[in-house]
Structure 1
Amino acid sequence: MTQTAKLFTTGRSQAVRLPKAFRFEGKEVFIRKEG
C-alpha cells in the first residue's frame, strides 16, 4: 500500500503527518533516509 504523507515545519523542526492507516503505537520510530 502506498499513500502520500504531508510534511510540515514547526519552528526549526520538520514533522510528517501520517495517514491513519500508517499510524504507530508508542512515542518513537526508527527512520531511514533513501535517495
Structure 2
Amino acid sequence: MALQELLVTEKKYVSDLREVLKLDDLEKEKLEELSDE
C-alpha cells in the first residue's frame, strides 16, 4: 500500500515538474523574443 502511494506521489511530482519545465521554456522563448528586438 505504501509503495503504491509512493508511486502516485512520484507521478504527481513528475507531472508537476513537467509543468514547471514547460513554463520555463515559455519564459525562455519570451526572453529570446525580447532580446531579438
TM-score normalised according to structure 1 size: 0.17
Q: Normalized per residue, which structure has more helix?
A: 2
* More contact order relative to length (CA 8 Å, sep ≥ 6): 1
Bigger Rg, structure 1 or 2: 2
TM-score normalised according to structure 2 size: 0.17
Q: Normalized per residue, which structure has more strand?
A: 1
